[in-house]
Structure 1
Amino acid sequence: MTSGESALIQPVSTSDADVPGYVLEFERAASYLPEDQRALLRRAWAVGAAAHAGQTRRSGEPYITHPVAVAKVLADQKVDVETLVAAILHDTIEDTPLTREQLAAEFGETVAELVDGVTKLDKLHFSSRQEAAAESFRKMMLAMARDLRVILIKLSDRLHNMRTLGAQPAPARQRIARETLEIYAPIAQRLGMNLIKAELQDRGFHALHPLRHLILEKHIRSQPMVRREAMAKIEAQLAQRLTAEGLEYRLVSRVKSPWSIYNKMRSEGKTFAQVMDVFGFRIVVQSVGDCYRALGVAHSVYKPLDGRFRDFIAIPKANGYQSLHTVLFGPYGSPIEVQIRTEEMDLIAERGIAAHWAYKHGMAASGAQARAHSWIANLLESQRATGSSLEFLENVKVDLFPDEVYLFTPKGDILALPRNSTALDFAYAVHTDVGNTAVAARVDKKLVPLRTKLVSGQSVEVVTAKSAFPKPQWLEVVVTGKARTAIRAQLKQLEHEDAVTLGHRMIDRALEDLGTSLDRIPQARLDEFLGELRYPRLEELLADIALGNRMPAQVALALAQKEPAAADAAPGAAPVQRRGERILITGHERGVISFANCCMPIPGDEIMGYHTAGKGIVVHRMDCPNVADYRKSPDRWVAIGWDREVIGEYPVGLVIETENKPGSLAEVAAAIAKAESNIEGVEYLERDANVAVIRFSLGVRDRTHLADVIRRTRRLGVVHGVRRA
């Protein structure tokens, strides 16, 4: 540090007489640390207090009380000294003159890295508060990938802010509470930190809906099960039977939080009386075997509810949570949830990645931390392909959706996915390349479409093909952020590659009309032209030509350094006949050739192409009524045709007149299916007592395929007429 910088961190008196009570309370919570490390905490407080001198919170308290309270939340989790030091100093880079370099010099690079990871991006300029929050969140997730302790500090920071939320104005309370419920509480749950998650949820609910919170609290207190004698009776009976079995155990009673009850009522459409497991007990035993013995004891004391048993020990949740869950019929007719787990499972369930902190030298990360790292690695893979911070944040929210299904790979490995996930989500969860080339799946050895929704316990095998590629419709099928991001990225890449290929063909044809070709244009002239238009590479220019943002004829004239022919520019002239060959459609041109909805051309139709800015080439049938309007812009006409072999299906409309009687529609649909055509939509155009006129939207390969569909439907006795729409 320079002399000017070092003046910011000066020796400060740290005798007990000068230390406030809140610091001494924090130090008592950190008493598990060695004496030399506790001295470092005292030094961190002194530096932080000096840096924040003169700053106050909205409540009027000195600002330093907040970071020390954050550090106390972490000390209760018994984390390491570097995390506590970083927590005390977590707002210094953002809100005080202290720099990252000064923190690194005084407390080490690790502490500086942690503080920097938590620091928000308020000093940068964004178009909206939402974008700033999203970018700040993305930065925090990237910092988490380097060191998970960043999220521990951030969650503790958020928890203390929620505890002191009353000092904020009403709009800020609403915004902070919503953000807490949507992002931070789910992250705490995803990382297995259930104690922090539960408090964040309850305080967020209280701030967002104070009246609903109050009503639910009253309902909970008024329930007969909450009476001390009832709880005592259940506890005594369970304890008596557990002791008789010779089990060592710890028995804890609990009442479900207002937020948990509210969330269940809202998601399942239930009243308070219909919500089960409002009250419950946790039995903590010594071993996994004892868990199952204790389950038998619980079922012998009260009868279990059918279908309410869950074994999270055999199949843990994605965040590492393990426990046996069962719901029993208790006295007064109220259901009681019983959770049974070992001491180690209980520690991990309460503290998640903070349990058995593993950043000390020579220790391996715990299972919870390894799972957290794996989750964050998947998020990082997604964020590299994500277009914006807001999109990234939405994808993370999807992945934080708490309800999960547990699925088996063919090798017996377990994958956890959000509820309503499809076989396509599973494919992307296995690997991005597997998802990109997926064509179908085998669920419990039965072949199913990729859109099939999965349920827990199924075994899933993905069927792939090298020639397969993602389709835009897939975005409507998947629910996971990873799958959605991977599909979008691949579609963009395919569209760009197709655009470059088509643009190359278009400029080649335009240059051929001028008696030259792209290969014969001098490299110096090509580089000069790209520089004039500010294209970094030729591929970018070619893609713009295909997408209609540059006219190939004008680019060709500029490259060949020729003047445009007068006839070409004459308004209202007939389409210019080119000497070059037509561009042939193969079906691979996914993002740069589209087919007009007005006439719905299919392979075999006589067609023309119209070059449209931003859309590329739009294909029309030559007999389309709109073609007359396009004659006014002959320079945008594109000579286009069908290749000998065209892949894929193309939309077409059929108007079918049928008898209006039960079963007619089913007969027509069956005939279309036998012709191997997919029905995309059905619409009644007219309908009376005797006749129905129905428009079918179909997918066909070509005119021959369409003729087969028409022939099969015309043969039906219920059909009076068929015509192409």
Structure 2
Amino acid sequence: MLRQYELTERVCSYDPGADEDSLNRAYVYAMQKHGTQLRASGDPYFSHPVEVAGLLSEKRLDAASIMTGLLHDTVEDTDATLDEISKLFGDEVSGLVDGVTKLSQLELQSEQNKQAENFRKLVLAMSKDIRVLLVKLADRLHNMSTLHFIKKEEKRRRISRETMDIYVPLAERVGVRDWKEQLEELAFRELNPDARSSILKRLDFLNNEEGGLIDRVIKELQGLMDQHGLNAKVTGRQKSPYSIWRKMQRQNVGFEQLSDIMAFRVIVEDPNECYQALGVIHGQYTVVPGRFKDYVSLPKPNGYQSLHTGVIGPENQRIEIQIRTQHMHEVAELGVAAHWVYKGQSNDGSEPEVKPGHIANKEGNQYRWLRDMLDIMSNAAGPDEFLEHTKMEMFSDQVFVFTPKGDLHALPRGATPIDFAYSVHSEVGDHCVAAKVNGRIVPLRTKLRNGDQLEISTSKGQTPNPSWESFVVTGKARASIRRFIRSKQREQYISLGKEILENTFRQADYELTEKALKSILDKHGADTIETLHARIGEGQVTGREVLYSVYPGAKESQQVAKKMPQTRAKDLPAHAIPIRGLIPGMALHYAKCCHPLPGDRIVGIVTTGKGVTIHTIDCRTLEAFADMPERWIDVSWDMDSDEKSSFVGRISAVISNEPGALASLTTTIGRDGGNINNLKFTNRGQDFFDIMVDVEVTDVRQLSNIIAALRASSVVNTVERSQG
């Protein structure tokens, strides 16, 4: 454990202007407050905040961060208060302690939704001051190093999984590489001890067999640099067990098939020498295709810069080599902490323009990921959805693409133009209608590649398509699309619910008043009439239940209506609810068993939690609802509407097994304005094929015209509209 004077001297060695008195007082205050408290290991509890402060000092963080490390558990675990800390150490330290304390309080609860809420609060806290995250990472790192003292295996695994899911990618995002690797290893040791042990044994065997190989490779690479007049320092190491295991999983190979388990680093004096060193290495050794990456000209979002290459190097070993300057190395090792060292201090000792830890627009891409997380938070329905989207955002390899003006955007691998549009701005994503990649119009689901240049076309009338959710990969895009779907669903549920309720009261010949509805809101779990309408439209409450709540006597008179619903529905009452061209999958769902089309006689079935499913009047599925009249809704097509929506009709056909038969069938469908949505062969014979075709049409009349045209074709043996 660091002594008081050792910690103070270490901080003052890199920050001469640090307030020694405040550091010493914080050390003593924390020691007194924690008193005789013990950790699970049996050590004095005070050893934990001291170790956290020590980890922060290794990253050369400012005095306020070090004091926060010392004090971060005092409010949570002792009688200390934020007011007291503010009076003794200032508002800045008090604010940082408050940010870390709120997270720690939630972290004690293990449920999934608590973990999600914890993460949401972490993003909020670090959006105000990134140092909150650095203190939290140091806190988690020391807790993980003593995790083995916790007796319950389930708790150890839960903490390790949370570390791997949340804190490892966050450490990666802020560029604290060594903390990231340590957290990975400590979590890996708990989550998969057998795999880790196996890899360690194989590494030990290799080291014994090839004794001194890393030193020999370093010596040869160093000699090569010296020979070409480059003032470089070469270091090397064996990759960590977790890094090796992850590569085995990703590439689906065994340990024996991995040949680049060693990584070497060449540190040069300036960026130009990075490329000179690369030329020397590529000129001397065989390059492994596809392994070169230039993060010098295209830095990672966390500021990381380096050249990466893979070669068949000394002694015919396949190795990975990273080439960077000393400054790039500092940033790679310290991440955001290095960013503070270089930008948070000015040469004349004056107050910097941007305070340490605070996000500003001038930080460029350094904090773009954090601003994206804030956007995701505003669009997510709750903490669980936020956690889901941000995991998508953080766990991904990257692809770099450009705007027409040359601005760089880093996206997850597999990203599409829709993801790019949302990364530019939420409004661009919401109104995206088309995309050009490298000057050529492409489908919106096209996967982007490194170096692509994108141009997005927008329209004010365009809104997010629910189908986009199936192929976007960024959390920001998915959260925005879901936000739109939720808002449209609610609008449609309210509209549909209102019509269902009015129709129910009208058919029962009862008056529907706002006053009457307000009196029964609590009974049906609604706080407003709008919410009640939404619950009815969603199928959570039926129109009859509301009717019986307002007029209890109506229940007896309605018993006579329990005759077969099919008979009642076939009479097509005058007060049927008109069905317009709503977005499929929202308040209305068109049954896949009968594929109803405008012009068909239809009926609606209330589906709990989904709204109303529309069936044709002769659909066999309706037999299952014969004893549930309360779920039947009288509906009809709004044939007078100007909206021309597409609906899917299904046909079954038997066609001749001869050249050109399928082409003739598709041409006939297209000639009558149909668009083939799906085509499937259901039976293949020597002379004939049975096929099922889904065709987009506007109404049943158009589908009938297509069927008539197909019956006149010489290659079609039989054709009919299909049910099911």
Equivalence for 1:13:
none
2:380 matches 1:383: no
Equivalence for 1:148:
130
Moved more, 705-714 or 311-320: 705-714
Aligned partner (choices 622, 625, 637) of residue 633 of structure 2? 637
Equivalence for 1:194:
177
Cα distance, 1:505–1:423 mapped onto 2, change above 3 Å: same
Structure-1 separation of matches of 2:626 and 2:507: 22
> Percent of aligned pairs with the same residue?
34
Equivalence for 1:129:
111
TM-score, structure 2 as length reference: 0.86
Aligned to 1:406, the other structure's residue is in SS state strand
Aligned partner (choices 401, 421, 438) of residue 407 of structure 1? 401
Moved more, 456-465 or 641-650: 641-650
Cα offset for 1:517? 9.2
Q: Does the 8 A contact of 1:505 with 1:583 survive in 2?
A: no
Could you tell me which amino acid in structure 2 is paired with residue 164 of structure 1?
T
Q: Does the 8 A contact of 1:611 with 1:638 survive in 2?
A: no
Aligned partner (choices 289, 301, 309) of residue 284 of structure 2? 301
Deviation string for 1:265-301 (max 9, x for gaps)? 1101123344353223222223222221222222233
Could you tell me which amino acid in structure 2 is paired with residue 474 of structure 1?
W
Aligned to 1:355, the other structure's residue is in SS state helix
Cα distance, 1:193–1:716 mapped onto 2, change above 3 Å: farther
Equivalence for 1:97:
79
Q: Does the 8 A contact of 1:612 with 1:636 survive in 2?
A: no
Equivalence for 2:594:
599
Structure-2 separation of matches of 1:677 and 1:578: 32
Cα offset for 1:22? 4.6
Moved more, 62-71 or 206-215: 206-215
Equivalence for 1:468:
462
Moved more, 663-672 or 579-588: 663-672
Could you tell me which amino acid in structure 2 is paired with residue 378 of structure 1?
D
Cα distance, 1:500–1:126 mapped onto 2, change above 3 Å: farther
2:652 matches 1:655: yes
Cα distance, 1:332–1:28 mapped onto 2, change above 3 Å: same
Structure-1 separation of matches of 2:363 and 2:183: 21
Cα offset for 1:29? 3.3
What does 1:565-584 correspond to in 2, within 5 Å? 566=557, 569-572=560-563, 574=568, 580=575, 582-584=577-579
Aligned partner (choices 170, 184, 187) of residue 204 of structure 1? 187
Cα offset for 1:470? 2.8
Equivalence for 2:53:
71
What does 1:582-621 correspond to in 2, within 5 Å? 582-588=577-583, 591-621=586-616
Structure-2 separation of matches of 1:259 and 1:272: 12
Deviation string for 1:195-218 (max 9, x for gaps)? 211222222223322332233234
Structure-2 separation of matches of 1:226 and 1:345: 35
Could you tell me which amino acid in structure 2 is paired with residue 591 of structure 1?
M
Deviation string for 1:534-576 (max 9, x for gaps)? 7444322332333344555776898899968946853217358
2:475 matches 1:481: yes
Q: Does the 8 A contact of 2:603 with 2:617 survive in 1?
A: yes
Could you tell me which amino acid in structure 2 is paired with residue 658 of structure 1?
I
What does 1:149-298 correspond to in 2, within 5 Å? 149-169=131-151, 170-223=153-206, 230-298=213-281
Moved more, 454-463 or 184-193: 454-463
Q: Does the 8 A contact of 1:607 with 1:622 survive in 2?
A: yes
Structure-2 separation of matches of 1:639 and 1:273: 66
Cα offset for 1:171? 3.1
CA RMSD, Structure 1 to Structure 2 (Å): 3.6
Cα distance, 1:157–1:619 mapped onto 2, change above 3 Å: same
Structure-1 separation of matches of 2:258 and 2:300: 23
Q: Does the 8 A contact of 1:122 with 1:132 survive in 2?
A: no
2:538 matches 1:547: yes
Structure-1 separation of matches of 2:708 and 2:328: 67
Equivalence for 2:390:
396
- The size of the alignment, in residue pairs, is 703
Cα distance, 1:225–1:648 mapped onto 2, change above 3 Å: farther
Cα distance, 1:217–1:553 mapped onto 2, change above 3 Å: closer
Structure-2 separation of matches of 1:610 and 1:172: 47
Cα distance, 1:546–1:59 mapped onto 2, change above 3 Å: closer
Cα distance, 1:74–1:679 mapped onto 2, change above 3 Å: farther
Aligned to 1:315, the other structure's residue is in SS state coil
Q: Does the 8 A contact of 1:323 with 1:341 survive in 2?
A: yes
Cα offset for 1:399? 1.0
Equivalence for 1:29:
10
Structure-2 separation of matches of 1:517 and 1:437: 43
Cα offset for 1:118? 1.8
Aligned to 2:717, the other structure's residue is in SS state strand
Aligned partner (choices 311, 314, 320) of residue 294 of structure 2? 311
Cα distance, 1:133–1:120 mapped onto 2, change above 3 Å: farther
Cα distance, 1:395–1:666 mapped onto 2, change above 3 Å: farther
Moved more, 494-503 or 66-75: 494-503
Structure-2 separation of matches of 1:61 and 1:115: 23
Q: Does the 8 A contact of 1:587 with 1:646 survive in 2?
A: no
Structure-2 separation of matches of 1:687 and 1:712: 23
2:440 matches 1:458: no
Deviation string for 1:607-630 (max 9, x for gaps)? 233445544333222333455655
Q: Does the 8 A contact of 2:582 with 2:588 survive in 1?
A: no
Moved more, 82-91 or 426-435: 426-435
Structure-1 separation of matches of 2:605 and 2:182: 60
Equivalence for 1:429:
423
Q: Does the 8 A contact of 1:603 with 1:646 survive in 2?
A: no
Moved more, 467-476 or 581-590: 581-590
Could you tell me which amino acid in structure 2 is paired with residue 593 of structure 1?
L
Aligned to 1:658, the other structure's residue is in SS state strand
Could you tell me which amino acid in structure 2 is paired with residue 281 of structure 1?
F
Could you tell me which amino acid in structure 1 is paired with residue 636 of structure 2?
I
Q: Does the 8 A contact of 2:214 with 2:237 survive in 1?
A: no
Q: Does the 8 A contact of 2:589 with 2:614 survive in 1?
A: yes
Aligned partner (choices 306, 321, 328) of residue 345 of structure 1? 328
Deviation string for 1:624-653 (max 9, x for gaps)? 345565597289432422334444332332
Cα offset for 1:69? 0.6
Q: Does the 8 A contact of 1:714 with 1:722 survive in 2?
A: yes
Structure-2 separation of matches of 1:208 and 1:167: 15
Q: Does the 8 A contact of 1:451 with 1:477 survive in 2?
A: yes
**Ranges in structure 1 where 5+ consecutive residues have no aligned partner:** 1-19
Could you tell me which amino acid in structure 1 is paired with residue 332 of structure 2?
A
2:706 matches 1:724: no
Deviation string for 1:230-281 (max 9, x for gaps)? 5445434433443454433332223222211211111011233443532232
Aligned to 2:486, the other structure's residue is in SS state helix
Moved more, 151-160 or 21-30: 21-30
Could you tell me which amino acid in structure 2 is paired with residue 543 of structure 1?
A
Structure-1 separation of matches of 2:635 and 2:159: 58
Equivalence for 2:348:
none
Could you tell me which amino acid in structure 2 is paired with residue 101 of structure 1?
D
Cα distance, 1:265–1:662 mapped onto 2, change above 3 Å: farther
Deviation string for 1:448-507 (max 9, x for gaps)? 222221121111222333333334332221121111111111101011112233344455
Structure-2 separation of matches of 1:724 and 1:639: 22
Cα offset for 1:100? 2.2
Cα distance, 1:647–1:256 mapped onto 2, change above 3 Å: farther
What does 1:343-382 correspond to in 2, within 5 Å? 343-357=326-340, 358=343, 361-364=351-354, 371-382=365-376
Aligned to 2:367, the other structure's residue is in SS state helix
Deviation string for 1:310-346 (max 9, x for gaps)? 1111111222211111222213321222211122211
Structure-2 separation of matches of 1:626 and 1:307: 55
Could you tell me which amino acid in structure 2 is paired with residue 416 of structure 1?
A
TM-score, structure 1 as length reference: 0.86
Equivalence for 1:417:
411
